[in-house]
Amino acid sequence: MDTHIYDMGDIDIAWCPGCGNYSILKIVKLALAELDIKPHELVLVSGIGQAAKIPHYFRTNFFNGLHGRAIPPATAIKAVNPGLTVIAESGDGDMYGEGGNHFIHAIRRNPDITNIVHNNMVYGLTKGQASPTSQLGFRTPVQVKGVFLEPLNPIALAIALDASFVARAYAGDIEQSKVIIEEAISHKGFALVDVFHPCVSFNKVNTHGWFKEHTYYLDDSHDPLNRLNAFQKAIEKERLPLGIFYKNPGKPTFEENVGLYKQDKTPLSFREKERGARLVNLIRSKK
């Protein structure tokens, strides 16, 4: 399938020239096209931030909710209509900061959604404050003494919670990132892809050059089914691994666990079962 099917045509895009978000937009479209997922079969759910504007540059169904709240609606959308491909996509501040609690519990709940996090290690839209993934010492107009909070490590956190799929990509590498995101979307269960990308306006430290120098790809010797190894890789500090860290493919999903689809595959959204008789029985049982 051609990625043009997702294109919005001539629109005004609010991202800065050279922003990594453009690459991620392209990567996600490429992955979806490769998987032959049509716009009406997809729902893109986002929060608020520069990254979270992605649904506006995408011809598909979308739910652009509140800051930090992409995951809860995405979880529910998938549960009431499992036929849809659901992607929850936002920035690092949105997903790991404001939405941190949802991130943690979504891993436990394991809805079959893909969680793509544009990780530029800074708050872009609000003009350059520290994000949960900002590095120690990172100076901003607010963090005037430099960041002294230990950066959040989403990969290690997800593996610690035995997430279903954990990967990291880099926006500068379209080909490899496309493959990772394709696999994440195809994976059954909650799939995290943390995507490194530079913020050209507010992060002068973690630039393309920096990412190139400080990352490397996990090679074939890495077994993504081995949780301990995955965790070890996740806490490496010198150079940060890219690729699929961990997979736990056997986990039942939230939609499976709610138990509504065992016999009847009709999405809850479209079920039109008459409730009258059952309701009358239930009321009578209250005698």
Partner 1 sequence: MSNKFAPDNSDVSVVLCGQAGQGIQTVERILVRLLKLSGFNVFATKEYMSRVRGGSNSTEIRVSSQRISAFVDRMDILIPFHKGALNHVQKRISPQTLILGDEEIIPDDFQTSGNRYVPVPFAQIASELGGKIFVNIVAAGVVTGMFQVEQSLLGNFIRKFFAEKSGEVVQKNIEAIKRGWEIGRKLLDSQKSRLESWKKQDVSEQILLSGAEAVGLGALAGGCNFLSSYPMSPSTGVMVFLSQQMDEFDLIVEQAEDEISAVNMALGASYAGARAMVTTSGGGFALMTEGVSLAGMTEIPVVIHLAQRPGPATGLPTRTEQADLELALYSGHGEFPRVIFSPGRLEDAFFLTQKAFNLADKYQIPVFILTDQYFMDSYANLPLLDASSAKMEKFIVRTKKGYRRYELTEDGISPRGIPGLGEGLVGVDSDEHDLEAHITEDLDLRKRMVEKRLKKLDSIQKDIVPPELFGSNDYKILVVGWGSTYGVIREALEKLGREDTAFLHFKQVYPLHEKTRDYLEKAERTIIIENNATSQFARLIKLYAGVDIEARILKYNGLAFSVEEVRARLKDIIG
Ligand X SMILES: Cc1ncc(C[n+]2csc(CCOP(=O)(O)OP(=O)(O)O)c2C)c(N)n1
Binding site for ligand X (CB under 6 A): 48-51, 67, 90-94, 118, 120, 122-126, 131
Least spacing, CB of residue 118 vs ligand X, in Å = 6
Q: How would you classify residue 9: left for phi > 0, otherwise alpha for psi between -120 and 50, otherwise beta?
A: left
Least spacing, CB of residue 205 vs partner 1, in Å = 29
Least spacing, CB of residue 228 vs partner 1, in Å = 27
Pairwise CA distance, residues 158 & 204, whole Å: 28
Nearer to partner 1, 64 or 226 (CB): 64
DSSP string spanning 4-57? GGG---S----SPTT-HHHHHHHHHHHHHHHTT--GGGEEEEE-SSSGGGGGGG
Identify residue 222 by its one-letter amino acid code: H
Residue 49 interaction partner, one of partner 1, ligand X, none, beta carbon < 5-8 Å per kind = ligand X
Nearer to ligand X, 70 or 79 (CB): 70
Residue 253 carries which DSSP code? P
Least spacing, CB of residue 164 vs ligand X, in Å = 23
HSE-up of residue 62 (Cα within 13 Å, Cβ side): 18
Residue 154 carries which DSSP code? H
* Residues 41, 83 contacting (CB under 8 angstroms): yes
Residue 286 interaction partner, one of ligand X, partner 1, none, beta carbon < 5-8 Å per kind = partner 1
Phi, psi dihedral angles at 216 (to 5 degrees): -155, 160
Least spacing, CB of residue 49 vs ligand X, in Å = 3
Identify residue 199 by its one-letter amino acid code: C
165-170 and 240-247: which strand pairing? Answer: antiparallel
* Residues 231, 158 contacting (CB under 8 angstroms): no
Least spacing, CB of residue 273 vs partner 1, in Å = 6
Least spacing, CB of residue 71 vs partner 1, in Å = 8
Nearer to partner 1, 28 or 45 (CB): 45
Residue 271 interaction partner, one of partner 1, ligand X, none, beta carbon < 5-8 Å per kind = partner 1
Least spacing, CB of residue 100 vs partner 1, in Å = 10
Give CA 27 to chain center in angstroms: 13
Nearer to partner 1, 238 or 274 (CB): 274
Nearer to partner 1, 59 or 188 (CB): 59
3-state secondary structure labels for all residues of 65-124: CCCCCCHHHHHHHHHHCCCCEEEEEEEHHHHHHHCHHHHHHHHHHCCCCEEEEEECCCEC
Residue 275 interaction partner, one of ligand X, partner 1, none, beta carbon < 5-8 Å per kind = partner 1
Nearer to partner 1, 152 or 268 (CB): 268
* Residues 53, 14 contacting (CB under 8 angstroms): yes
Residue 124 interaction partner, one of partner 1, ligand X, none, beta carbon < 5-8 Å per kind = ligand X
Residue 123 interaction partner, one of partner 1, ligand X, none, beta carbon < 5-8 Å per kind = ligand X
Using CB under 8 A, list all residues that contact partner 1.
11, 14, 39-41, 43, 45, 48, 53, 55-56, 59-66, 69, 71-77, 79-81, 83-84, 101-102, 104-105, 258-260, 267-271, 273, 275-276, 278-280, 282-284, 286-287
